[in-house]
Structure 1
Amino acid sequence: GDDAAKLFSIMMIIGGIAPVVAPLIGGALLGPVGWRGIFWVLAVAGAVMVAGVVLLVPETLPPERRHGGGLKALISNLQYVVRNRHYLGYALAFVFGFGALFAYISASPFVVQNVLGLSPSQFSIVFAVNATGMVTAAMITTRLLGRVGARTLLRFGVCLLLIGGAVLFCTSVVFSSTNTWLILVPLFVAISSIGFIMGNATALAQGEVTNAAGTGSALMGAGQFGLAALVSPLVGIAGEDTAVPMAIAIPTFGVLAAVALVLLTRGKAAAS
Structure 2
Amino acid sequence: MSVTTDVADTDATDTDTGAPGKGRTARFALILGGLTAFGPLSIDMYLPALPLMAEDLGSTDAVLQLTLAVFLVGLGVGQLVAGPLSDSWGRRGPLLVGVSIFIMASVLAAASPSAEVLIAARAVQALGAATGMVIARAAVRDLFSGAAMARFFSVLMLVVGVAPILAPVIGGQLLEWTSWRGIFVTLTVFGGLLLVVAALALPETLPVAGRRPPRFGRIVRTYRDLLADRVFLGYTVTVGLAFAAMFTYISGSSFVLQDLYGLSPGEYSLAFGMNGVGLVIMTQVNGRIVGRFAPRTLLRTGLTMVTVSASGAVLAVLAGLGLPGLLTPLFFMVSSVGMIMPNATSLALADHPRTAGSASALLGVVQFLVGGSASPLVGLLGGDSALPMTMIMAVAAAAALTVFLVLTRPRGTPTSPPDRAAADAPVG
TM-score (norm 1): 0.92
Is 1:257 paired with 2:400? yes
User: What amino acid is the match of 2:332?
Assistant: V
Any idea what the Cα deviations from partners look like across 1:176-235, whole Å, max 9, x if unmatched? x37101111111111111000000000011012223211111001000111233123212
2:158 to 13, 18, 21: 13
Instruction: Give the AA of the match of 2:343.
Output: N
Residue 235 of structure 1 aligns to a residue whose secondary structure is helix
Deviations 1:25-63 (A, max 9, x none): 223221111333223222332333344444443321111
1:33 and 2:178 aligned: yes
Q: Deviations over 1:113-134 (max 9, x none)?
A: 1111100001110111000111
Q: Deviation string for 1:151-177 (max 9, x for gaps)? A: 1110000000011111111222x34x3
1:182 and 2:347 correspond: no
d(CA) in 1 for partners of 2:300, 2:164: 26
Deviation of 1:268 (Å): 4.8
**In terms of mean alpha carbon deviation, does 253-262 or 241-250 score higher?**
241-250
1:86 and 2:231 aligned: yes
Query: 2:175 is paired with a residue of what secondary structure?
Result: helix
Task: Decide which of 195, 216, 220 is 1:71's aligned counterpart.
Answer: 216
Q: Which runs of 5+ in 2 are unaligned?
A: 1-145, 414-420
Contact 1:84 1:208 in 2 (8 A): no
The alignment covers a number of residue pairs equal to 270
Residue 241 of structure 2, aligned match among 96, 102, 112: 96
Alignment of 1:1-272 (within 5 A): 1-172=146-317, 174-175=318-319, 177=320, 179-268=322-411, 272=424
Tell which deviates more after alignment, 204-213 or 134-143.
Answer: 204-213
Shift of 1:240: 4.4
Structure 2 CA distance for partners of 1:7 and 1:221, relative to 1, 3 Å: same
Mapped contact 2:382–2:388 kept (Cα < 8 A): no
CA contact (8 A) 2:151 2:287 kept: yes
Counterpart CA distance in 2 for 1:2 and 1:41 is 36
Q: Is the 8 A contact 2:238 2:403 kept in 1?
A: yes
Deviates more, 1:5-14 or 1:224-233: 224-233
- Structure richer in helix, relative to its length: 1
Q: Is the 8 A contact 1:171 1:183 kept in 2?
A: yes
What amino acid maps onto 1:236 in structure 2?
G
- Please, which runs of 5 or more residues in structure 1 have no aligned partner? none
- Are 1:235 and 1:249, in contact at CA under 8 Å, matched by a contact in 2? yes
User: Following the alignment from structure 1 to structure 2, what is the Cα–Cα distance between the partners of residues 107 and 129?
Assistant: 17
CA distance in structure 2 between the partners assigned to 1:208 and 1:253 by the alignment:
26
Q: Which residue of 1 aligns with 2:55?
A: none
Q: CA RMSD in A?
A: 1.9
Stretch of structure 1 that moved more, 151-160 or 70-79: 70-79
- Percent identity between the two aligned chains: 37
Task: Say which is worse superposed, 142-151 or 42-51, in terms of deviation.
Answer: 42-51
Q: Distance in 2 between matches of 1:235 and 1:147?
A: 39
Matches of 2:324 and 2:284, distance apart in 1: 25
Question: Please, what TM-score do these two structures have when normalized by structure 2?
Answer: 0.60
Cα drift, residue 22 of structure 1: 2.3
Give the letter for the 1:243 counterpart: A
Q: CA deviation at 1:82?
A: 1.8
Select between 206-215 and 192-201 the one with higher mean Cα deviation. 206-215
The Cα shift of 1:83 comes to 2.2
Choose 135-144 or 248-257, whichever is displaced more.
248-257
Q: Which amino acid aligns with 2:268?
A: F
Match of 2:87 in 1: none
Letter in 2 for 1:179: G
Give a deviation string over 1:67-118, Cα, whole Å, max 9, x none. 2323212112112212221112211211111111111111111111111110
Q: Distance in 1 between matches of 2:349 and 2:410?
A: 17
Higher relative contact order (CA 8 A, sep 6+): 1
Q: Does the 8 Å CA contact 2:240/2:371 hold for their aligned counterparts? A: no
Report the residue type matching 1:32 in the other structure. W
Contact 1:87 1:209 in 2 (8 A): no
Q: Cα distance 1:262–1:152, how it changes in 2: closer, same or farther (>3 A)? A: same
Letter in 2 for 1:211: R
